[in-house]
Amino acid sequence: MSSQNSIDLFNTEWKASIAKFQSIAGLKSLNIDLKHPQTKQPMTAYQQLPDLYDEWMEIRSTWDKESLFFSVIYDLVGQYMQPWQVANYLTIDRNAFQAFDILTEASQGNVGEDYSSHCASLAKSLCSLTYFDESLVWAKKACQAEPNNSHFKIVLADAHFLSGDCDRACKMYDKCVSSIPKSLSESVGEMFLATFSIEHGVVPSPIFAIQLGRQLSDPQQSAEFWKLSEAEFYYSPYFRAEHAYHLASKGRNEECLAKLITLVQEMPWLQEASINLKSLFDCFNQNGNRIMPDFQQELSERIKERGWKGKGIFAMATY
């Protein structure tokens, strides 16, 4: 990519990140005007934030580039945000523990008119921390306080699914999908934007995305869909684990292994993913291909210390 193309992409992604940050945080408006400090003339992100551009250029993944932009945006506007808005951002930015702590502290006071949003934000952070039953409790409270809020309904549907009530969750997803115009193009990109996009989709659910992704049979459409989904739902441990398992089901075992390693290193509290990763390591070890022995030992010790039981879904496989 040429230098000018990179600069243009940087400016475009900066603007897109502002819009997405506003959406995920739940801000009614968000205006970040970059201006020359002396002349007050408008400046592009590249002109005003050259160091950020250099850092952005060093990052490969879509989600880490987005996280970089989010951190700068938060530094600029975080002081004006409510606790539940900060928590929404932190959960999407893969800092669910910090989000939960902020919400717990806020709960000790009077959240007032923010009650329903506070409950929904708490449900989302608990979901990322795999406290699914507790997440369901708070998702229900959010919907009871504001029953017509479509976003809260998706939070509730996800909580139902992860708590084991898959039928109820699927009915809720299907009801939301029915509102999508029938004239929608066959384009995967347009379908994804209308259905799953956190900003614009009617069902911005990583769980529902997994269900649809598994059904796609066309290789090109499938590849495009999973790429879009991974960028959109990388914050979700459920999505990332299930995506890895899907890759294994297609015979892409090394890709599955790489994704599970990254996930468990980043979120070591994930019991199921940790056990499944260990079982996958064991499969590779049987062939004399012992990968990351120090990390394997650390993983085994953590599983033992926490009393996690199970053979893992790869226990009977050979690679």
What would the pLDDT profile of 43-67 be if each residue is shown by its tens digit? 999 999 999 999 999 999 999 999 9
Where do we find the tokens 């909580």? 159
Q: How far apart are alpha carbons 140 and 38 in whole angstroms?
A: 51
CATH topology of domain 236-319: 1.25.40
SS3 42: strand
Range(s) within the chain of domains with CATH label 1.25.40: 91-167, 236-319
Q: What is the mean pLDDT of the chain?
A: 93
Q: Interhelix angle for 62-77 vs 83-92, to 10°? A: 160
Lowest mean pLDDT across 10-19, 71-80, 145-154, 172-181: 172-181
* pTM for the model: 0.93
| Residue partners of 72: CB distance under 8 A and separation at least 6 | 49, 52
CATH architecture assignment, domain 91-167 = Alpha Horseshoe (1.25)
Average pLDDT over residues 196-213: 96
- Per-residue pLDDT, averaged over 259-282, amounts to 96
**Which is it for the CA torsion 278, 282, 283, 287, positive or negative?**
positive
Residue 182 pLDDT exceeds 80: no
